[in-house]
Structure 1
Amino acid sequence: MSEAFDASSLERSYAFLDDCPENLFDDIVTLPIGTLEERVRGARCWQDALLAGGLPPEDAWPPAEIAAPVRSALAELKLVRFCKDEPELVDRLMKEILGAFTRQMDVLRSAVASRLRELEALERARLKEKSDQSRGKKSLSSPMALDQETLRRLHEQAMQESIQLLSSEDADLLATWGDRARAWAEIADVFGDLGEMLGRGWDFSCGVLRHTGWLDLLRLHKLIEQLPQLREIIRALGRLHATQGGESVAEKILVPVRRIEEERREIRTPLIPAEMRGLERSGEITRMLPVEALTLGHPRMRMLWHARRAERALLTYRVEGIEIDRVQVACDGHQEIEGKRPRTERGPILAVIDTSGSMHGLPEQVAKAIVLEALRTAHEEKRRCFLYAYSGPGQVLEHELDLSPDGMGRLLEFLGFSFVGGNDEVGMMMKVVARLKDKNWQKADVVFVSDGEWPVPATLVAAVKCACKEGVRFHGVQIGNSGRSGLHAVCDPVHIFQDWATAGGWAC
């Protein structure tokens, strides 16, 4: 007698498909490399490794000769670092990687088949020549047949020789992702880890690189690398939230606490026959009353018994028992601990750069380099940053740091713009003071970058002193002037760097 068919066995045998990424299902199923289970496990391993910012182990699926060109291409592109925690990017890249595996497999199979035909022809010629020499005359018979062992040996030889001929890098993968990876690398080198700003978008990356201000941005980045003092200035900004007396004292803090407890629940169920609770009608023979058993034994009443059982109308005992169910229950509460209460030490940044005629050239480039570093710092420390570029009366350009693609375009325009006019420090400072009265900018620090070659009206000094009474600090960055200037009258401290002139050949 054959065994009964197990309907769940089919589902169990294909349970590994649950790990298959849904968007890669068609690509994985049609791959000509390994078994279906190996392909699913291997593709999941590659996807998880890329999301973690790395590559799977060397011994992972597929075989090394198929995966090596893909690994080499990814290493040259330096693309893996951009994949960390970027599921959309990884999904797109995985499709290209699986396609590359298929291409490499097709190339390898074609090369092996071609080389195997050559080796078989050579082997048959060798055997025929040997046979002719043994017979002493030339044979006109059909080509020599090769045994299975010889065919296996020739196939292994063809495989090894074909693997040596495979390209070291997957050319299609390099062509598809080369420009994109270079674009991301250039943007990342300038802006740092700005994942939100990059967006990993092909159109956006190319749009940034085609912008007229992009070359200026690259030059500013190189200037920052030459002038580490810039970073020190920006790091000193925005400490208005620190309490008096330095380090915070130990305090009692109530923190939310969640505990997981096991709770026992009693569930009454008829599946546990532990207690009789009355009578009921059912079709259960094990619980039927003795009178029903008598009916079953009667020669004429037996058919009636079978009919009542089919209708589940037999008189039976109603039984039930108690099942103990253990469940995990989360209990919320609060716990009092002793420690240092976290506090925010840094506020927003207001950066003001002088783009008047006296700042033309390297001084203006240094000022914009400071702005770029302020943007990088603001993003890294989750701080707001507002930029001003000014010159004469009515000549003010404003920009708030925005990580959207439109915001990037405006930033590039801002960094590439210059008024090259006169000076209107009073009008500019009044705009800054007005913004400092906004509740969102009350804790901001101001960095003022200029050569200081302008007069200091009393109204400007009064406006700055009024803002300083509210706790605002004005940092000055004076470029190329060692003496006291208008910047000293409104800023404290003032950073002076004459050696910045060596960064581009600008003479003080």
Structure 2
Amino acid sequence: MALFEEFNMAIAVLESGFIENIVSEVMVTPGIIAALKSSDGIKRSLKKEMNLWKSQTKQKLLKNPIDTHLNEEMTYYHEVKSYNQAFFLKNIEQIVAQINVNSPFYSQAVGLVDNQKQKYNPLFKHYFCDQWYQALFTHLQKEQIKKLDKDKLLQNLYQRIDTMTQLNEIDGVIDEKKSLRLWDMAKAKLTKTDTRNLKKIVKFLNKNNELQKIAEKLGRMANEIETQTVSNVKIEKIEKVDTKSTQASGDIIGIHESDDLERLLPAEAMFLVYPELETIFYKHLADKRLATYQLQDTQQTNQKTITFEQRSKQAEEDKGPFIIAIDASGSMMGLPEQYAKSFAYGLMQIALAEDRECYIIIFSTQQITYQLTKKNGLSEVLNFLSYSFNGGTDLTSVLTQSIDLMSTEKYINSDLIVISDFIAPAQAEALVDKIDAIKKCKNRFHALNLSKHGNPDLLAIFDYYWEYFPTRLSKLKGFFIDENSNL
């Protein structure tokens, strides 16, 4: 019972509104007000963040709402509250003596006992316990407020706002959908070097807008899956149906015979007035032949109906992640490296807008993976952009790893984009067979070739590929080649 009382107090403290008060105080600080006015995306992100903070804070405080000392005092408070009036008044000095001197109620309790007039009031026990509870309640509320650390919350919000503002300046005005995801990624603090590198990448991508067009084409491909499969999907619906009921109260529609005494006609009751006719009344009652009003009411009941609709399987599938495999060999140093990083950054922007994940696998003689769109993903983006290309080429390993990923449920309907100069031998037939098999799960294999010396036999394993030669700065040779076509 004491535990229940403690839990009730913890709930009451949380419902007292102090968390909402802190949120209100935060939202009216000058920096937050300025951020709310600066961008609709930041405004919505801030409101979402504060709602999430409120929910998480309440859950956190409920897990460990009361410390050990307060917990012990709550147990003692509950014990004292259960005492009867006579025992309480007789032992009040001893009761107060057992309250911890560090209790938020101790000094008040001593003062109440010293007040002789109040001590013998019939309502003294009730008043004493009520003041004790209020002291514990106020103390717990203050302790919970200390745990919230409003300054830390504000610091986190200001840092994110600052990062979002810088990203808005770098990428232009960010739309609302992208803002919500970038807000989660914006825990990383941008240094001057980070800002300079991002601006350089965006400027480079804008200058080579053909790469941006390829990225946009890749973003649309998940919607362009050709499927002839149309299936009948069973749909269950709950509908409200009007039904007529003669059991419910409603309009009188006539008179009939029954044993319903509540709807008895006054004339039938006359049999009970005369003792000699009383037997007839009970006989009619037993035979359900009493004249009674017949009522009818229209009621609404839930009724399940089953229908079938034709639906394309394509419409039921979500777009899977982008897997961007980037060749980091020595031959990719220089302009090819800049093209690869810019193209990957462009795809990340599309992934954010389409609510898709975006993974980078940098491969040479080893593999390094970055998840650009996860929470705290901005730090992953910065690490990726600062990576220096140098090493050999091991395309087989990265293709094998990608096949393993695409074999999992998370990667259904995903796009693999390999960015390389493709100066490498053709892949083994066994690996090519695995690639063909995984394509049937609506996974797509793309390539961006950055060298005119790329191996045509190697490029033939991809569904689609584009060639963008760094030595031809203003010319794009685009190929949209079916996997069964001849190059």
TM-score normalized by structure 2? 0.48
Structure whose CA Rg is larger:
1
TM-score by length of 1: 0.47
